[in-house]
Structure 1
């Protein structure tokens, strides 16, 4: 004889609001344990199986994978197991939403383009993942920076130079990113890296430039034009130290002449595209502001 409080598979399914097939499947997967079998071989479940089945149903409604559900039910559905699963699902959903937003913006870009432009835009956008990755830009900067630069500086510069992906991209930003991806791709690497700067002491240069950029950024965000001040002094001093020179009027004139040539065309293109992806001033924008500040100071001296 079986205990009177045991539930048949049909009774359990009916009380939980799921199909008999689902109960059988969860049992076969080891998520739901049967208490016994009838004389005819039919499954019987203890009353507490109802709460476990409702838990499984709720987690499946949130699209939680079966292996993660198994972890939750193994820990009696409380405490850290459930919290970890929920956090993991939120991360997964966030990635899915990011991919959908980029796909929507890419489709809008193609939809709004003139018919004669769509094939080229599709080629550019089709080379990206969904959502896209910044790997090609990271690799480009790691190749561009001086070989003797300390790893801590390389990591900091790469983080500042590679624009973050917008959370809500506009079609124009998808295009800007696609062009950046192409610009820094393998086929263009040799052309881009041929302008790698190589001062005698690159660590002193880049350490000083980071400080100068931090000092200048508030002025750019406030919309103030290039001007002399602490940021410019730090900028010039960084260049001077990197070349074993002193910050003198003569050195400032030499530096001004060197900077007047401007960036490599590929780098100018890079910063223009990067600026479309972030509201924060790019390193290129800040560098140009400081160069212009030096030019203005020299013109007034």
Structure 2
């Protein structure tokens, strides 16, 4: 290309793919000025103006506004700053689109009445504090008079309900359904009655005691270690795998009062796989369950992402293999009392079904 040649607006249009009217518009706006205007009023552009027009066109396709482009070309903002600000705006637009999509899908699926549409729109726009208040009100009501330890109640509540910063449509739909249920008097009554029936059994006091919560938490800590080892690619028959298997055997021996042995570890290996089958079945059943508390748990797990994570990453098969490896004839099995306690490590996994 000849750097000193000037091009007519029609030639510039063919080279850039812009319309003649668009080039005139950018010129009139002072975004890209022609190198020369003839006595007859024809606008002529040099190669630098053509390159600038292509750059402006690209920014416009990325939805950059004229004011932002002008500030960039005048040197009042850097390209990185412009991209960062524009990305933030796009993220906010995407969040609003996801929220609207969730509302519309829920409306279409449930044949929602007009007054409920307003409520749904408000639900997806709730702040974290508003969600916390709704969650607290629900639990304060359904747990009133429930004879369980505060520690067990905390385990059931499982902390704050947090909607991710960038929730999926599935999570938003789950939140709309859950928020509606949390405010429904009949649903609260059904959950409250279900919990009272569950915890009125003779052995409920022992199972919901603070001591039993400690047992749940210690077992959960061992599962966390197994999960971390599995995700790190640690072989189940490695020294770490055998150590974790020993911790699990000691923990279960404390509960069952069965001495540690190779036979016991082989039984535990089979039991763990049985637990995995029941766990996966419970996740599938929860998604379609009509039981109010089970439905509540399923929706919460969808919102915070633990349903998918648990199904994909729970280390049952890895732990079973580690127990089998530690029960091999070549591997000495330490008595329960000689197995050291599981040190605090990571967070205790969330328990949806105490």
TM-score bracket, normalised by the shorter chain, equals 0.3 to 0.5
TM-score scaled to structure 2, two decimals? Answer: 0.42
TM-score scaled to structure 1, two decimals? Answer: 0.48
The structure with higher relative contact order (CA 8 Å, sep 6+) is: 2
